[in-house]
Structure 1
Amino acid sequence: MAGNSRGLYLLMLIGALAFVVAGVFIVRQEPGGNALVGWSSILFFGGCALVFVRQLLDSRPRIVLDQRGVFDRTLGIGVIPWRDIIGAELKSMQRNHFICLELRNPEHWTGKLSPTQRKLVALNQRMGYSALNVNLSGVAADPHQVLEFIVKMAALHARD
């Protein structure tokens, strides 16, 4: 199981709050054209701060790797059984790690996604990622160990 990295979300919360404070300062000091910049900063980074607080307070594991398969709460498709995973690959972009899952029947799983998520899947695939990817950003787990475990369990259940 892998939960959220509290340190990362705390750091992002502090950064978001700093931009909210900067926005308040701009609105109070520049009541003209720059007020739009200030209000935009307050609204956007205030929303980000709320998300980061929620992540800090959420103690549920975001990713669960157990005897049943792979569960990533952010995907919203349930547990992907080991027998449906035929391979995996670690990819990284700007220090954000992803486990790209190679699935027996990816259409079955992408069919469970919302239309917006399916558009993101198509974009991910154009960038060289698989249809479904386990996002390890903000997760307190070693990406190489997660990959090793997924590959090992998928191979073990390939015979099922």
Structure 2
Amino acid sequence: MGQERIEIKLSKRKAVLTFLGAIAFVVAGIWMIALADNQHRFPPPLLNVTGYSAIILFGAVGLYIFYKMFDSKPGLIIDKDGIHDNSNASSAQLIKWEQIKGLKIEQVMSTKFILIDIHDPEDFMEKIGGLKKKLMKGNYKMYGTPISIISNSLNGDTDYLFKIISERMIAEHNKRDGVMATTQQQNV
């Protein structure tokens, strides 16, 4: 492997755009609540619930993105130990090479992401706490693995990240114990 340590930085441009989108949804939520009693097209309780939900959900997203805009740590580090993930709210932190069985790319609507299959997902999630654990359990139920990497917050697209992670994973697995890991580049 050419590089011992590869760092992928968080994309400040993507963070700013996401933050502005979150603000727009919070403003839309406020507008719905203000409009609820002064219109006759939609039931006021529906507009209130939708408005408050938008404020809470996108307000939380906006606060998290605002925090990440000032995060100086790399979003992803790929080194001899494994993948150090700091890219999103459900980031797994360190995923050791020996824990990884394989990788694959999935797509939901227009968003592509990398799923990292690991040997013992339940054990992996037991070491995580709080909201991160709940997000990982949701991932596990939907995709069969708790770990996903989305390039939305990173400098680089999904295909590029898949290529560098899979090359390093195969090299590290071959170097350590000769076990061949699997990768699946899916045409999506």
Same fold per superposition (TM over 0.5): yes
Identity %: 22
Q: TM-score, normalised by structure 2?
A: 0.64
Query: Which aligned pairs between 1:42-61 and structure 2 lie closer than 5 A?
Result: 42=55, 44-61=57-74
Q: 1:102 to 1:24 in 2, by over 3 A?
A: closer
Q: 1:76 to 1:49 in 2, by over 3 A?
A: closer
Checking the alignment, whether the CA contact within 8 Å between 1:82 and 1:154 is kept in structure 2 is yes
Distance 1:55 1:85 in 2: 27
Q: 1:57 to 1:122 in 2, by over 3 A?
A: closer
Aligned length: 160
Query: Which aligned pairs between 1:17-36 and structure 2 lie closer than 5 A?
Result: 17-22=23-28, 36=48
Query: Which aligned pairs between 1:107-146 and structure 2 lie closer than 5 A?
Result: 107-114=122-129, 117-118=132-133, 120-146=135-161
Q: 1:50 to 1:117 in 2, by over 3 A?
A: closer
What is the CA distance between 1:69 and its match in structure 2? 1.0
Checking the alignment, whether the CA contact within 8 Å between 1:86 and 1:154 is kept in structure 2 is no
What is the CA distance between 1:81 and its match in structure 2? 2.2
Checking the alignment, whether the CA contact within 8 Å between 2:91 and 2:147 is kept in structure 1 is no
Q: 1:84 to 1:24 in 2, by over 3 A?
A: closer
3-state SS, counterpart of residue 110 of structure 1:
helix
User: Does 2:156 match 1:150?
Assistant: no
What is the CA distance between 1:71 and its match in structure 2? 1.0
Query: Cα deviations across residues 63-86 of structure 1 (Å, max 9, x unaligned)?
Result: 211222101124465422223323
Q: Aligned AA for 2:24?
A: A
What is the CA distance between 1:90 and its match in structure 2? 1.2
Checking the alignment, whether the CA contact within 8 Å between 1:23 and 1:37 is kept in structure 2 is no
RMSD value over aligned CA atoms? 3.3
Query: Cα deviations across residues 10-41 of structure 1 (Å, max 9, x unaligned)?
Result: 22222333344455556667777689469725
Q: TM-score, normalised by structure 1?
A: 0.72
